[in-house]
Amino acid sequence: MMSLYQWLLWLYPAFHRREYGEEMTAVFCEARSEIEKKGAGTRAWFWLREIRGLLHGALAEHVRSLVGSHPWVLLPTRRFTMHSEFRFPKATPILMALILAGTVLAIEKAQAISASLPHINPPIGPIQPERLTFLPPVLLMFAVAYAAGLIGWMILFALKRSGVHRLSEMQDSAGR
């Protein structure tokens, strides 16, 4: 049965196994030596509890190693917990309104210029579909940019310098 326990420990991430594996085994041995004096029902319940605890613990540790200690910061429903620096800046709506007004003005000016110079812009015939030769390079460019971004994020995550970690650190320091 001890080998089953050690096999289940292998389901944990390597870091956790190195750091706590020996200690967990020692605690389990102490608990088992005490439970062996009791009845079969108690022993069976003990084993079920241990197996369930290890399976649940291993899964939780893998999730933690993937998304960090505080996965809820990734969820948009917890936006209200964000630090003020990460919120939508107040200047953004003004900037967006200015850009929109500029675009509308530019379109109006372009239409006015076009109407005053009809001989320069003869009517265009039916548009013929062209071969989309530019599409594969554009898609490739997006794919490369996405891959580069993903690799960069993974490096930052491994170094614990991703946005998630920085936010967590800021929240911790604000909490203290």
- Buried b / exposed e across 74-113, counting CB within 10 Å, b at 16+? eeeeeeeeeeeeeeeeeeeeeeeeeeeeeeeeeeeeeeee
- Find the binder of another protein among 56, 79, 83, 87 (CB under 8 A): 56
Stated as kind and residue range, the H or E segment containing 46 is helix 40-67
Q: Of the ranges 51-59, 129-137, 141-149, 159-167, which one interacts with another protein (CB under 8 A)?
A: 51-59
Contact 167, 82 (CB under 8 A): yes
Query: Which CB atom, from 55 or from 112, has the smaller least distance to another protein?
Result: 55
Taking the complex as a whole, how short is the minimal distance between the CB of residue 57 and another protein, in angstroms?
A: 3
Binding mask 69-88 for another protein (x = CB under 8 A): xx------------------
Q: Does residue 36 interact with another protein by CB under 8 A?
A: no
Query: Which CB atom, from 29 or from 97, has the smaller least distance to another protein?
Result: 29
To 10 degrees, what angle do helices 40-67 and 2-9 make? Answer: 10
Q: Does residue 60 interact with another protein by CB under 8 A?
A: yes
How far apart are the C-alpha atoms of 52 and 73, rounded to whole Å? 27
Q: By rule CB under 8 A, what count of residues binds another protein?
A: 26
Taking the complex as a whole, how short is the minimal distance between the CB of residue 18 and another protein, in angstroms?
A: 13
Contact 55, 11 (CB under 8 A): yes
Question: Which residues here bind another protein, judged by CB under 8 A?
Answer: 16, 20, 23-24, 26-28, 30-31, 49-50, 52-58, 60-61, 69-70, 171-172, 175-176
